[in-house]
Homo-oligomer: A and B are copies of this chain.
Amino acid sequence: MAVTGNGGGTPARDRVHRAAVRLFATKGFHGTGIRDLAKAANLSSASLYHYMPTKERLLADIMAASLQSLLDAALRELDGVDDPAERLDRLVTLHVTRHAREPMRTRVVDNEVDALTPASRRDVVGIRDAYEQLWSDALDDGLRRGVFTTTRPATTRLALLDMCNGVARWFSPGGELGRNDLAEHYADLARRLVGAPPRPPR
């Protein structure tokens, strides 16, 4: 393996993906040129194409991988948990923690869906739907068992998800609130939204 004049020990493929996430998040997919991407990854624009078939496919891969990893983590997190309020807590905590840890990646996933070709979009939206279905199920389950209270559960679910998604738009690691405190606060807010009893103090 030749390590020539690149940007440190990081493998080139990783550098490309990381640079893409950062640039797509800050300047948008269409606002990022192939040459911007190359410069940020310490490669020529030609070499870029050794690590991606197409700019659009690079975006699609990033989005699909991010969503798939979130979905997997959520399934792991919910495994064996029965109490609806606890299930909601875990979904919110996971979601917010991730959005705070990787706000750039999340912003790409949330904002660049309609830069995808129809084929890629179908894949990405499919994963996203499966993930959001977990939230719907948790909400419905809590309502059925009388733990949650809300008219219009569908709308409440959307409000809840939008609230949690927002974190990626403004969170910065240097802020007054750490990731974990933030996630706990959001779990409290979520319980209020769905009319569940407050979380027991630790």
Q: What residues make up the interface of A, taking CB atoms closer than 8 Å to B?
A: 26-31, 111, 114-115, 151-152, 154-156, 158-163, 165-167, 169-170, 176-177, 182, 185-186, 189, 192-193, 195
Contacts and interface: CB of A to CB of B under 8 A. Distances in A.
Main secondary structure of the interface of A (DSSP, over half): helix
A115 to B, nearest CB: 6
Number of copies: 2
Contact of A166 (B28, B151, B158, B185): B158
A123 to B, nearest CB: 20
A30 B115 CA distance: 10
Contact of A170 (B114, B151, B158, B185): B158
A136 to B, nearest CB: 14
A36 to B, nearest CB: 12
Contacts of A195: 192
A167 B151 CA distance: 17
A151 B31 CA distance: 39
Nearest to A25: B114
A22 B51 CA distance: 35
A183 to B, nearest CB: 11
Contacts of A189: 156, 159, 193
A193 B166 CA distance: 15
5 contacts: A26-B114, A156-B185, A159-B163, A159-B189, A162-B165
